[in-house]
Amino acid sequence: MRARKSKFLIVVFILIAIGIGSKYLIKQVFFPYKYKEYVDQYSKEYDLDPFFVLAVMKTESNFDKKARSNKEALGLMQITIETGEWAAEKMNLNDFSKERLFDEEYNIKMGCWYLSELRKMFNGNLELIIAGYNAGPGNVNKWLKDEELSENGMDLSYIPFKETKKYLDKVTTYYNVYKYLYDK
């Protein structure tokens, strides 16, 4: 009886250790809290959830500061040169250059500012913010005016760009995972 009980306790202990270890492994390998200093600083400055910023960054570049898309989006948050020039002007940054988009702090600051602007444009609607980050706010506004894509002009019932729909699903999933892993 005692031997069975101690074997049972050992098995329970091992399962708990595996559970704790796997969560640690998932956090370290698959969902790290990269660039914490800058993510926390600019999330706070632009009133964003840092887990949302991490989800966008993971989706955009998988935390590769040298990432470059086929559409010439650059850096951690994959900002295009056109968006970067526009954002730098609005942010009163006089030092914009293509190369600056590869600087972690600069890119995260600009990406957070842009997400904050999208939040204002779309009244905090997370789905629209995410779609706007991927497809551009002009496309999202056009979709909201199309009765086949938006029943009420405030939410999307259908996203015509498959890439944007996949992007929305991915960011939303990553956001939920980050909240689960790190939210205390």
Flag whether pLDDT at 17 surpasses 50. no
Radius of gyration for the alpha carbons in the chain, expressed in angstroms and rounded: 20
d(Cα 32, Cα 112) in Å, to the nearest integer?
18
pTM for the full predicted model: 0.87
Q: Which of 37, 45, 60, 127 is catalytic?
A: 60
What is the DSSP secondary structure assignment for residue 68, as one 8-state letter?
B
Q: Are 111 and 56 in contact (CB under 8 A)?
A: yes
Residue 76 · residue 84 · CB < 8 Å? no
Q: What is the pLDDT of residues 116-140, one digit of tens each?
A: 999 999 999 999 999 999 999 999 9
Model confidence at 1: pLDDT above 80? no
Predicted confidence at residue 21, as pLDDT, reads: 59
Mean pLDDT taken over the chain: 90
Task: List the chain domain ranges.
Answer: 1-30, 34-182
- pLDDT-based confidence at 25, cuts 50/70/90? confident
Where does the pLDDT of residue 173 fall: very low under 50, low under 70, confident under 90, or very high at 90 and above? very high
60 is an active site residue: yes
**In which band, very low, low, confident or very high, does the pLDDT at 23 lie, cut at 50, 70 and 90?**
confident
> For the residues 14-23, what does the mean pLDDT come to?
56
Over the stretch 51-99, which tens digit does the pLDDT of each residue have?
999 999 999 999 999 999 998 999 999 999 999 999 999 999 999 999 9
CATH class name, domain 34-182? mainly alpha
